[in-house]
Amino acid sequence: MTYFIAGTDTDCGKTFVASALLHRAKQNGTTLGVKPIASGCEVTEQGLRNSDALSLMAQSSLQLAYEQVNPFAFVPAIAPHIAAKKIGLSLTPQVIVEHLKSLPFAEVDFALVEGAGGWRLPLGEGAYLSDVVKQLNLPVILVVGVKLGALNHALLTQEALLADGIRIAGWVANIVDIAMSEPEENLASLEQMMSSPCLGIIPHLAEGDAVQAAEFLDLNLLK
Ligand SMILES: Nc1ncnc2c1ncn2[C@@H]1O[C@H](COP(=O)(O)OP(=O)(O)O)[C@@H](O)[C@H]1O
Ligand SMILES: [Mg+2]
**What is the dihedral angle through the alpha carbons of 165, 171, 175, 180, rounded to the nearest 10 degrees?**
60
Ligand located closest to 117 CA: 1
Distance CA 141, CA 134 (A): 14
Classify residue 78 by its DSSP letter: S
Residues 23-73: tens digit of each pLDDT: 999 999 999 999 999 999 999 999 999 999 999 999 999 999 999 999 999
Could you tell which of 11, 21, 211, 217 is best to mutate to test the pocket of ligand 1, judged by most ligand atoms within 8 Å of the CB? 11
Known catalytic residue: 14?
A: no
pTM greater than the 0.75 cutoff: yes
Report which residue type is found at 179: A
**pLDDT of 93-151, one tens digit each?**
999 999 999 999 999 999 999 999 999 999 999 999 999 999 999 999 999 999 999 99
Expressed in angstroms and rounded, the spacing between residue 88 Cα and the centre of ligand 1 is 31
